């Protein structure tokens, strides 16, 4: 429990210190007005790749790549694509994601309460209705995964370390390009975007060292839903162990501690996001994350660190869905 809490605190503190937890930063990125979020995100993913590769090579962890998520509709990865699109759309509506909403809550963001509420409802919808429906398709897809490449290395015929290095180089070049050719963020933050990304990868290091697991937050919403469903007597069975929920509490605590120590980081610009939009976005992002089998941190940072093709597909769909929805909302 202590390991999960400390990991969450490190992650929440890094999100707030970097400034990418702010709804204004997330919505501005999806509108392509400000590239702070993408600079931090790519830096975190690249640096996490180094950390994860070192952990795997040393034998400290033996983490498998992320598997594809299939709904049995049109592709073995349709869950990744549809889930990623919904996750991105939810981010555009709410200015949040399953991880940042917890940091926003700790830092006192006014929109975080509605987003969190919508996320919990999304967790209930997933646990009570959608997850049982997708279970049979998921089992069929898992039986076929052995025949498909799961990682960049398997796809290109490269050693896992070489595949990870290739991704890290490409993401580093993307960060350099963004720093050179895009506008710099003007929001208040403790550290520049790249440094913020390194702090987030530091939280990944804490997670690997203490938990032998990578970062990811959307499962906490599913666990909360399971607690609620069993509390009202709609289901019986073993309760979740609580690790995911403890980590989520830690993320909020980390955001709270940094915002208390440095109040200026929590006083950034506040986009005009209604409670209805925040709640709807929270619902979409959690349903999307669970359909895809991971969220912005679980797929975008941790999954890409393992060179997982499913994570690259989900992340691409997330960005596409977020940008398309942001453009629609701005029209």
* pLDDT digits 0-9 by tens, 190-224: 999 999 999 999 999 999 999 999 999 999 999 99
* pLDDT(146) > 70: no
Residues forming a β-bridge with 308: 151
Please say if the pLDDT value at position 141 is more than 60.
Answer: no
Q: Can you give the C-alpha Rg of the chain in angstroms? A: 18
**What is the pTM assigned to this prediction?**
0.94
Nearest to 84 by CA among 321, 331, 328: 321
Write the pLDDT tens digit of every residue in 268-278. Answer: 667 778 999 99
Query: What beta strand segments (E) does the chain contain?
Result: none
The pLDDT score that the predictor gives to residue 238 is 80
**Which position has the token pair 């919990």?**
120
Predicted confidence (pLDDT) at residue 186 exceeds the cutoff of 70: no
Alpha-carbon distance 19 to 36, whole Å? 8
Domain boundaries, the chain: 2-330
pLDDT tens digits along 64-77 = 999 999 998 999 99
Gap between the Cα atoms of 134 and 82, Å rounded: 13
Query: What single-letter DSSP state applies at residue 73?
Result: S
pLDDT for residue 184: 63
pLDDT higher than threshold 80 for residue 79: yes
pLDDT band at 236 (very low <50, low <70, confident <90, very high): confident
The answer to whether 242 and 223 have CB atoms below 8 angstroms apart is yes
On average, the pLDDT of the chain sits at 92
Structure tokens of 156? Answer: 């290109």
- Nearest alpha-carbon partner for 247 in 225, 229, 221: 221
């Amino acid at each position: 429990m202590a390991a999960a809490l400390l990991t969450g605190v490190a992650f929440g503190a890094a999100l707030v210190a970097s400034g990418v937890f702010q709804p204004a930063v997330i919505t501005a990125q999806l509108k392509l007005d400000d590239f702070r979020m993408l600079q931090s995100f790519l830096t975190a993913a690249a640096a996490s790749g180094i950390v994860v590769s070192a952990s795997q090579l040393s034998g400290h962890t033996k983490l498998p790549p992320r598997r594809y998520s299939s709904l049995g509709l049109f592709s073995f990865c349709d869950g990744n694509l549809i889930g990623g699109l919904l996750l991105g759309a939810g981010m555009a509506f709410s200015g949040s994601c399953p991880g940042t909403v917890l940091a926003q809550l700790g830092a006192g963001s006014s929109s975080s309460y509605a987003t969190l509420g919508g996320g919990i409802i999304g967790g209930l919808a997933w646990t009570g209705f959608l997850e049982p429906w997708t279970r049979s398709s998921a089992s069929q897809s898992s039986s076929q995964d052995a025949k498909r490449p799961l990682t960049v290395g398997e796809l290109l015929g490269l050693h896992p370390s070489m595949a990870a290095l290739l991704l890290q180089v490409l993401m580093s070049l993307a960060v350099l390009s963004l720093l050179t050719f895009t506008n710099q963020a003007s929001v208040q933050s403790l550290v520049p975007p790249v440094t913020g990304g390194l702090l987030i990868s530091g939280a990944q290091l804490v997670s690997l060292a203490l938990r032998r697991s990578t970062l990811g937050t959307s499962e906490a919403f599913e666990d909360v839903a399971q607690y609620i469903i069993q509390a009202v007597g709609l289901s019986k069975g073993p309760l979740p162990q609580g690790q995911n929920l403890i980590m989520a509490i830690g993320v909020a605590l980390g955001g709270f501690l940094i915002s208390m120590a440095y109040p200026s980081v929590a006083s950034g610009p506040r986009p005009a996001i209604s409670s209805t939009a925040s709640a709807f976005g929270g619902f979409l992002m959690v349903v999307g994350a669970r359909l895809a089998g991971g969220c912005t941190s679980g797929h975008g940072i941790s999954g890409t660190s393992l060179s997982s093709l499913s994570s690259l597909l989900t992340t691409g769909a997330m960005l596409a869905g977020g940008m398309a929805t942001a453009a629609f909302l701005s029209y």
